Amino acid sequence: MKQGFFVIVFFFLSTLLNQANAASGDSSGVIKTILWYEGHTGVLVKQTGMSDLGKCGRADYYILDDHHPFFQEIYSLLLAAHMASQPLSLHLDGCVQGISRIKHVTSNK
C-alpha cells in the first residue's frame, strides 16, 4: 500500500517538474502585431515564427504581463523594434491567461 502511494506521489511530482522544465524557450523574429485587448492583463505580441514555447495551449500571441517589473522598458523596446522592423529575441517562461509569458527581451544588430 505504501509503495502505491509513493509511486503516485513520484508520478505527480515528476509530471510537475517536467511541465516546469518544458515551460520556457526562446523565439526570434520581427514583431508583426502589438495588441491591447480588453480582458488581458498585458500587451499581446505577435512575432514571426511563433510556437507555444510556454506550453500554455496557444501559439497565436505572447503576452507581456503588466505586472512585469520592467514592463515599461520592455514595452518601449517592443514598440521601437516593431516600428523599425528590427528582429527581437524573446525569452518566454510560463503562462499568463493561457498565453506564453515574455520574461526577457534581447535586441541584437
The predicted-structure confidence for 78-106, as pLDDT tens digits, reads as follows 999 999 999 999 999 999 999 999 999 99
The structural architecture, per CATH, of the domain 23-107 is Beta Barrel (2.40)
Q: Scanning the structure block, which residue is given the C-alpha cell 514583431?
A: 31
DSSP state of 106: E
Residue located via cell numbers 510537475: 16
Determine the Cα–Cα distance for residues 100 and 93; give it in Å rounded to an integer. Answer: 7
d(CA 97, CA 109): 32
pLDDT digits (tens, 9 = 90+) for 8-52: 544 444 444 434 444 799 999 999 999 999 999 999 999 999 999
